[in-house]
Amino acid sequence: MAVGDGATGKGLPLVPDTGEEGRVRWGAREINRTRDFVAQVMDLIPVGKAGYRAAAGLSIGTAVPANTVGDDGDWFARYI
């Protein structure tokens, strides 16, 4: 795979290597743009136990769950 093919495949812009936008003086801007992409991905990662449980479809409680709660494939742990 050529350099940049993975980024292009995911819809990310490439840093130009020619023209006005390809000038070295724009390097800091491109670094900051990359950090913005990292921040966007970090926003997709759940935070804390409750966030991970919700993302994975896990529930925990003491009562027997009703069939009206959750989706098919969700997992419920009942502790006594």
- pTM for the complete prediction? 0.56
Task: Provide the pLDDT for residue 46.
Answer: 92
Task: Provide the pLDDT for residue 69.
Answer: 62
- Residue 9 scores a pLDDT above 70: yes
pLDDT digits over 33-76, tens only? 889 999 999 999 999 988 888 888 787 777 776 666 666 667 77
Give residue 18's pLDDT band: very low, low, confident or very high (50, 70, 90).
confident
Name which residue leads in pLDDT, 52 or 24: 52
Residue type for position 32: N
